[in-house]
Amino acid sequence: MTKPPIDLLQGTVDVLILRTLAWEPMHGYGVARFIRQRTEGVLTIESAALYQALHRLERKKWIRAEWGLSENNRRAKYYSLTADGRKQLREEAATWRSYAEAVFKVLEPV
Amino acid sequence: MARPRRYLRFPWRSSSRLRADLEEELRFYFDMRTRELVEQGMSDADARREAVREFGDVEYTKRYCLAEDAMSRREERRTDYVAELRQDMMHSWRTFRRSPGFAVIALLTLALGIGANTAIFSVVNGLLLRDLPFGEPDRVVRVWGAHKDSGVDRSQISAGDFIDLRTRQRSFTALGAFAWGGGTYIGTGDPVRLSGARVDANVFRALGVRPYLGRTFVAGEDSSGVNPTIVLGFGAWRRVFGGDSSIVGKTVNISGRANTVIGVLPPTFFFPTMAEAEIFTPLDLTPLLRDVNRSRKFHNLGAIGLLRPGVTVAQAGAELKGIAAQLERDFPQSNSNMTVATMGMRDAVVGDTRPALLVLLGASLLVLLIACANVAGMLLSRAVSRRQELAVRAALGAGRARLVRQMMTESLILAMAGGAIGLAVALWGTHALVASAGDRLPAASQVTADATVLLTALAVSIASGVVFGLVPALAASRGIQLALKESGRGTSSGVSRHRMRTALVTGQLALAVMLLVGAGLLVRSLVGLQKRDLGYSIESTLTFELILAGDRYDSGAAQDQFFDALYARLEALPGVVAVGGSGNIPLRGGASASLAIDGRPQPEGRLPEVGYQPVSDNLFKAMGVPLKRGRTFGPQDRQDSPPVVILSESAARAYWPNGDPIGARVRLGPNPNDPWMTVVGIVGDVRIGVDGESRPTAYVSGRQDHWGGMAIVMRTTSEPTSLLPAVRREVRALDRTIPVSDAYSMKQVRTQGLTDRRLPMQLMAAFALLALVLAAVGVYGVMAYSVAARTREIGVRVALGAQPRNVFGMVVRQGMGAAAAGLTLGLLGAAALGRVLTSLLYGVKPTDVFTFVGVAGVLLAVVLAACLVPARRAVRVDPLEALRSE
């Protein structure tokens, strides 16, 4: 299995998770499902990477975890965005947007 | 619900808890994903397998997540701790703000306790702990002469003996000799008297001195015929020579001789066991060695050695003693019963101050303990009024450990703040201490607040915070359960707390008693010393030293002419009763000489030694020493008239127990060719120094033995020092190159001599007073608390017919009970520990009954006074109100 550059991968996963949790607190499975549906299957993130990212972001205090009840009445760990996380999301989204714009500027004239 | 999370959040989770949480989280994912896949049409088993497959590396993910979780937990714990500490500190601050009286008293108490300790410690650190400013301080050794028969173990060595010791010994890489020196610097302004030493090249080698400018002596420089050289101490260089940086190579006039300056010593340097020495000239032993009568009989040398690596002081001492024993056998006439004594230089320098310093350090520790007990007592009382607050906090989920921590934070804040103020007290105190000890403290310049002192103050503060904080904190946290149940009536925990406070106060009183006894003994010693009869009068007496300098005073006749003229001029001054001169004044010690008596057989070994002083005609009159028999010296005793001698009473008694010494002939000093001298008079005994005893002494006329200088004594009718300007004018009129030095009233000289006794006494008295006040505050606190806690009981008693007198008595009895217990313990402790004071006492026993009784009286009176206010408050309790208030 070849691995893409780890920083890019981590950064991408992180910002997607932060954006997802900006909607509402979710458990890990919910985040995975949301991203899959939202990107219509174009971006598939390995769930392993997703969970690693969740715990990493929790450590960074961008998200926090609480146990709650799932839609089918099971105990599940819900993640929600912290104030720090929200700030981080804004910054990363801006970076991504300018990155994408720059790439498009190169591609457009074709 | 502003911040509910604080209380609802996960507590810190254990590692197994973290693992279980992660397993549950992942299980939830796999279950959900499997169900999703089943809904898409997979079989149960296939769906589960697919969920795991598409997940990725499960094991790695688990490890990764656990590591992240563990890290978060650590961080959480840290930030929680910091947050709680902040919370505790804010809480403490608010608590102190609410009761500023308590905070101020506690802070002052601690500041005094910690300050006293730190000040004393910085002196101990500077003198006893820090290295002496020498190259290899631990290898430097002081060597003295010693007399086996009289027990004198710090005397001088003769030149002949020193040379033999130096050439035969193998223990030292360098062994050097020194003798008194110094002289008068004659420059453009007033002449200046400079103390100094004559040293050989080995002395500076042994001390390992790196000069500040130039160099020190080299071998060969100390032999005669070489151009005279001089090394200046830093102080003299700065003060007298203006810190001239180009002074090396210049010549300076010392006592009429031109000396070439070859070096300046560094500022930290002091000459050990002769700290006042400021100028150093080469020591030339050849004249003494050439003189057969004096080479082994004239003892004027001190010695300093640098131990060979690996040799101990004891080994070196044993070797030198062996050589001395050999010399004793070879030269019985001069060396019988003579040996040497050695000591590491640190012990030699601080030897006399050590016991006093250690006693004071112990005393300041006792004060600190009392201060801690006081604050602990205050905290215990406060814990009562804070029971509700603590209970509320406990109810909100604070555990016992958390409450103890909070109270400890309070204590430590108190201790650190008290320590900070204490440090200021200490800096000021150290300064005052060094200033008042002045030249009595060896190497006083080394006493500064350095890192060691600051760290010690910090450590002492923290330690006291723990000591006085822990007991109340534990007691308070134990009382919480009870507090939750009831509203704070006389509970069992209240009783045990009261018992604890009483125990604290008893301990305080005991410690205070010990300090009071110590102070009392020292005061009694000093008073005894000040009252004792010295054998002469120190009232209205002025003394100063004159050292004649220059070739024109080489002849005895010239010296006689100068002094006769001087005495005449001074006696003519208004307000002067009599003027005399003496080699030394008895307060500053004296010389000695061997005594041979005409017509008696030569003893086997050495001749006996007696005190020896050349004196002027009127000295005994000026000093107020009574003439017992015969006559004093007069104008008929001249350089060329038959030599005469006056004996002290004890000398007459010792050597003529049944007969009359007047008319007998004696010879003083080692030279058998000196003429016999006739005894013409007997005078009263005088005591040597401030605390010494009298010794048999022989006085000769200053016209028959010329020392080139005299200590002048003037008896006056007015304040002695007011005559000084006139004295200086008369001396200058006779010879402007001769300085008047060491000019003081005789009382001032005695005061200086008592400094090293007075200082410990004053400090001890200050500590004792502090201890007494603190203990009184402690007694007051516990009694006031007790009365407040027993208001209801007192109300009942009054309601049942108790008279005010009974109530008053009840309170006072309780206080006196603690006082009696503390007093008993304290007096027992003082009796047991009194021995450590022995070396500081004079004329009183460590178990002096007078002192013990006096201390008991003072303590009981103070405790009684401390009980009065609470007792009166108890008397005024209104039974109705007391009963209703519950």
Instruction: Give the long-range contacts of residues B875-879, CB within 8 A, separation 24 or more.
Output: B875/B804, B875/B807, B875/B808, B877/B791, B877/B794, B877/B795, B877/B798, B877/B807, B878/B795, B879/B795, B879/B796, B879/B798, B879/B799
* pLDDT tens for each residue of A20-34: 999 899 999 999 888
pLDDT at B708 over 70: yes
pLDDT at B225 over 70: no
The two tokens of residue B219 are 């071998």
Domain contains A39: yes
pLDDT at B324 over 90: yes
CA distance B99 to B101: 5
Kind of pairing between the strands at B644-648 and B677-683: parallel
- The listed range with the strongest mean pLDDT (B108-117, B183-192, B726-735, B787-796) is B726-735
What's residue B357's pLDDT? 82
The rounded mean pLDDT for chain B is 86
Give B57 to chain A, closest Cα distance, Å.
Answer: 6
pLDDT at B849 over 60: yes
Cβ-contact A58, A64 below 8 angstroms? yes
Chain A positions touching B58 (Cβ under 8 A) are: 48
pLDDT at A1 over 50: no
Confidence tier at A3 by pLDDT (50, 70, 90) = very low
User: For chain A, how many structural domains are there in total?
Assistant: 1
User: Residue B576 CA to chain centroid, in angstroms?
Assistant: 40
- B72 and A52 in contact by Cβ < 8 A? no
Interface of A with B in 62-81 (CB under 8 A): 70, 74-77
pLDDT at B149 over 90: no
Confidence tier at A78 by pLDDT (50, 70, 90) = very high
Chain B positions touching A71 (Cβ under 8 A) are: none
Which of B25, B61, B75 is facing A48, going by the closest CB pair? Answer: B61
The two tokens of residue B21 are 């949480």
Q: Which of B29-33, B237-241, B553-557, B781-785 has the lowest mean pLDDT?
A: B781-785
What's residue B482's pLDDT? 56
Cβ-contact B381, B785 below 8 angstroms? yes
Domain contains A7: no
Cβ-contact B569, B274 below 8 angstroms? no
Give B131 to chain A, closest Cα distance, Å.
Answer: 53
Instruction: State which residues form the domain around A38.
Output: 12-107
When pLDDT is averaged across residues B838-846 and rounded to a whole number, the result is: 86
Pick left, alpha or beta for residue B629 (phi over 0 → left; psi -120 to 50 → alpha; otherwise beta).
beta
pLDDT at B484 over 60: no
- A59 and B75 in contact by Cβ < 8 A? yes
What's residue B128's pLDDT? 77
Confidence tier at B558 by pLDDT (50, 70, 90) = very high
Task: Name the nearest CA neighbour of B316 among B134, B130, B138.
Answer: B138
What's residue B7's pLDDT? 37
- B24 and A52 in contact by Cβ < 8 A? no
CA distance B837 to B848: 12
When pLDDT is averaged across residues B354-373 and rounded to a whole number, the result is: 86
The two tokens of residue B872 are 């009166």
What's residue A8's pLDDT? 47
Domain contains A5: no
Domain contains A66: yes
Indicate the burial class of B491 (C-beta count within 10 angstroms; 0-12, 13-18, 19 or more).
Answer: middle
When pLDDT is averaged across residues B555-573 and rounded to a whole number, the result is: 93
- B64 and A55 in contact by Cβ < 8 A? yes
What's residue A18's pLDDT? 92
**Alpha carbon separation from B697 to B592, B650, B694 (Å, rounded):** 8, 8, 8
Per cent of chain B over pLDDT 70 is 93
What's residue B653's pLDDT? 94
Domain contains A90: yes
What's residue B8's pLDDT? 38
What's residue A7's pLDDT? 44
What's residue B197's pLDDT? 93
Domain contains A1: no
When pLDDT is averaged across residues B442-468 and rounded to a whole number, the result is: 75
Which of A28, A58, A59 is facing B29, going by the closest CB pair? Answer: A28
Give the pTM: 0.72
What's residue B886's pLDDT? 52
When pLDDT is averaged across residues B336-349 and rounded to a whole number, the result is: 88
B101 against A19, higher pLDDT: A19
Q: Three-state SS for B443?
A: coil
Q: Which of B424-433, B493-502, B848-857 has the lowest mean pLDDT?
A: B493-502
Which of B28, B58, B72 is facing A48, going by the closest CB pair? Answer: B58
The two tokens of residue B501 are 């406070």
When pLDDT is averaged across residues B428-449 and rounded to a whole number, the result is: 66
Q: Which residues of B touch A (CB under 8 A)?
A: 21, 24-26, 28-29, 31-33, 36, 54-58, 60-61, 64-65, 68-69, 71-72, 75
When pLDDT is averaged across residues B168-176 and rounded to a whole number, the result is: 94
The two tokens of residue B201 are 């090249």
- The listed range with the strongest mean pLDDT (B474-483, B503-512, B648-657) is B648-657
Task: Name the nearest CA neighbour of B394 among B477, B469, B470, B471.
Answer: B477
When pLDDT is averaged across residues B461-480 and rounded to a whole number, the result is: 77
Give B27 to chain A, closest Cα distance, Å.
Answer: 10
When pLDDT is averaged across residues B235-259 and rounded to a whole number, the result is: 90
Chain B positions touching A45 (Cβ under 8 A) are: none
pLDDT at B9 over 70: no
Give A28 to chain B, closest Cα distance, Å.
Answer: 7
When pLDDT is averaged across residues B865-872 and rounded to a whole number, the result is: 88
Find the CATH number of the domain harbouring A66: 1.10.10.10
Confidence tier at B567 by pLDDT (50, 70, 90) = very high
Which of A28, A46, A56 is facing B25, going by the closest CB pair? Answer: A28
Half-sphere CA count of B551, side-chain side, radius 13 A = 3
Angle between helical axes of A47-59 and B44-55 (0-180°, round to 10): 50
When pLDDT is averaged across residues B115-140 and rounded to a whole number, the result is: 83
As a whole number of Å, the CA-based R_g of chain A is 15
Domain contains A2: no
Confidence tier at B211 by pLDDT (50, 70, 90) = very high
**Alpha carbon separation from B587 to B103, B180, B688, B752 (Å, rounded):** 51, 19, 6, 10
Looking at the complex, does the CB of residue A90 fall below 8 Å from at least one CB of chain B?
no
Chain B positions touching A77 (Cβ under 8 A) are: 21, 24-25, 28
- B24 and A51 in contact by Cβ < 8 A? no
* pLDDT tens for each residue of B592-640: 888 999 988 877 777 888 999 999 999 999 999 999 999 999 999 998 9
Looking at the complex, does the CB of residue A47 fall below 8 Å from at least one CB of chain B?
yes
Per cent of chain B over pLDDT 90 is 39
Kind of pairing between the strands at B257-264 and B140-147: unpaired
B757 against B682, higher pLDDT: B682
What's residue B838's pLDDT? 85
Residue of A29, A33, A64 for testing the chain B interface, max B β-carbons within 10 Å: A29
pLDDT at B219 over 90: no
pLDDT at B409 over 60: yes
Indicate the burial class of B53 (C-beta count within 10 angstroms; 0-12, 13-18, 19 or more).
Answer: exposed
What's residue B488's pLDDT? 45
Chain B positions touching A75 (Cβ under 8 A) are: 24, 28
Domain contains A6: no
